[in-house]
Amino acid sequence: MKLGILLLTLGFLSSCDGSKFQNSATQDLSRADKLHYEQYMIQGQQLYKTYCSNCHQPDGTGLGRLIPPLSQSDYMLENPYRTFCIIKYGLNKEIVVNGEAYNQPMPANERLTNIEIAQITTYIYNSWGHERGYIPVKEVSQEINKCQ
């Protein structure tokens, strides 16, 4: 009985080697960057669950006419740097996502750190079929001061 549980646990652990985050977007990364990328994906998923998925849903499909989708969103995919600003400062204007107009306010998350923003962004740009690749914290630090 106990052995069965042990074997189950081992099987589970060995299936969690991070390879589920491999995709063509990460092919050219160094070994160190691949490790960072995998860590960002794991942390990013947790942060997404805490800060975003209530509204945008765990699968990123949004909620009807109220909450725009992130999965396959032309608006989001157009500009990751704008997404840093939206995460940190929220958004409160009409926008058009995949041809649909949305105009409900999204709250700010001013207490999120640059690294947390990089992790969330890496996660949402590499989930649901997106393959933008690793978005290092350096990019957030460089761009976040330019938010209007």
Contact residues: ligand HEC, CB under 6 A: 51-52, 54-56, 67-70, 73, 75-76, 83, 86-87, 91-93, 95, 97, 102-107, 109, 120, 124
* 95 close to 101: Cβ distance less than 8 angstroms: yes
The residue (of 29 and 91) whose beta carbon lies closer to ligand HEC is 91
CA-to-CA distance for 56 and 139, rounded, in angstroms?
Answer: 24
Q: How many CB atoms lie within 10 A of CB 74?
A: 11
Min CB(57)–ligand HEC separation in Å: 10
Min CB(1)–ligand HEC separation in Å: 43
The residue (of 70 and 137) whose beta carbon lies closer to ligand HEC is 70
**What are phi and psi for residue 79, nearest 5 degrees?**
-155, 95
The residue (of 39 and 57) whose beta carbon lies closer to ligand HEC is 57
- 38's CB contacts (< 8 A; 6+ apart) are 18, 21
The residue (of 34 and 42) whose beta carbon lies closer to ligand HEC is 42
